[in-house]
Amino acid sequence: TLRSNRYNQNLSLGQPVEEIDRDFSAALRASAPMTIIQRAGVTGEPEYYASTLVPITDGQNTAGWLIVDIDQSGRQALFLAMTSKVSVVIGLLLIAAPVLGFWHRARQRALVEQTIETLARHDQLTGLPNKSAFLKDVDAKMAMPLPHGQQSALVLFEVSGAGSTSQTHGQDAEDHIVRTVAQRLAAARTDGIEIATTGRNVFGMFISAVTDAVDVLSLVKDLTGTLGAPVDYRGLVIPPGSIPTP
């Protein structure tokens, strides 16, 4: 056998040595090859090298053992570099995970708060602002000074035929009529006009700046005709009816 507990370039096959690494004891007993990675112990040796123990045999008998030391410093450096990169990536992920978690929770909370605020301000059937939100907006606009000669107007529209429709055709028919009227009223909205669902089958319209009352009456007349037009419900033509109250 050849001495392998120290990397020694001066050893040759012609100088057998009895001493062998303790790590190879199991391989010697099993008569099996074995490789171990070692680190330099003295000056002049490679920083890392692989020691391989190979039996010399004719297939049946073992005549001796051959130990080969191969420099592994380059591979070990590559492994350490890759390990360092992986460690950096893992560290960044550990740092980023709480930040991303906090951002996700904050975003979810903001969406929930926005949804709650939207539900609190809007009528669930029509999607228009509800009475509470409408009155707040009207109060805010009424508190603002108007130009000389201008006034404000408040108009309420009641869908008078919706109640009788529910008795004849069911609640779904009444809801369909109310939603249709709400869509028609929303389509007629322009700048300076606020609309809302102020009660069951009742809509409100606030006009913030009016210079002539005749213009308001003309607008109400046109809207009454538009909102009171028949509604198609599953093949049935139902007149919703609309009674304006300026």
Q: Is 111 exposed, middle or buried (0-12, 13-18, 19+ CB in 10 A)?
A: exposed
Question: What confidence tier does 131 reach under pLDDT thresholds 50, 70, 90?
Answer: very high
The secondary structure element, H or E, covering residue 207 is: strand 202-210
Quote the pLDDT of residue 4.
Answer: 40
What is the helix, strand, coil percentage profile of the chain, to 5?
A: 45, 25, 30
pTM (2 d.p.): 0.53
Dihedral, 95, 96, 101, 107 alpha carbons, nearest 10: 140
Would you give the DSSP letter of residue 23?
G
> Model confidence over 92-116: pLDDT tens digits?
777 777 877 877 788 888 888 887 8
Q: Is residue 67 within 8 Å of 51, Cβ to Cβ? A: yes
Has residue 37 got a pLDDT over 80? no
Q: Is residue 174 within 8 Å of 165, Cβ to Cβ? A: yes
Of the listed ranges 38-42, 180-184, 235-239, the one predicted with least confidence: 38-42
> Model confidence over 180-232: pLDDT tens digits?
989 999 988 888 889 999 988 899 999 888 888 888 888 888 888 888 888 88
Q: What is the largest CA-CA distance in the chain?
A: 123
Q: Is residue 11 within 8 Å of 65, Cβ to Cβ? A: no
**Token match 């303790």: residue?**
22
DSSP lists the bridge partners of residue 243 as 158
Quote the pLDDT of residue 243.
Answer: 52
Has residue 38 got a pLDDT over 60? yes
Would you give the DSSP letter of residue 147?
P
